[in-house]
Amino acid sequence: MPVNLRPAQALYLWHKANLAMVLDEEPDLSQRQWAVLLSIYLEPPPHTVRGLARKLDVTKPVITRALDTMGGWGLVSRRRDPEDRRNVVIQRTVEGSLFLERAGDVIARMAEEVPR
């Protein structure tokens, strides 16, 4: 079902959801880290450093730094592609799935508070 928000309402929702997530005990992700994480979890695999770098129009080291940080929080993991050892495949984790489920819950809760 489509969600129709005016620009001010969309910004209000974004602000409220971001504020709620900053104030909780979850890791604080940068915009780039969110883009990487959501690409990994919302788009069909496989995901590679090279593919994510191309999608976000950044260099592979930029993606590697984001993955290093998110991997430290347990949100993603990496392994070498057994068929092509030059490729690194990014994998989803249970911790990452739960993190995004909680974030989705926050956004849904904040959406109920958007002024009409």
The full set of domains in the chain, from first to last, is 7-111 (1.10.10.10)
Q: What pLDDT is recorded for position 37?
A: 98
d(CA 67, CA 86): 17
Q: What pLDDT is recorded for position 46?
A: 93
pTM score:
0.89
Residues of the chain where predicted confidence (pLDDT) is lower than 50? none
d(CA 86, CA 82): 9
Q: What pLDDT is recorded for position 2?
A: 75
Residue 26, phi then psi, degrees to nearest 5: -75, 160
Q: What pLDDT is recorded for position 78?
A: 94
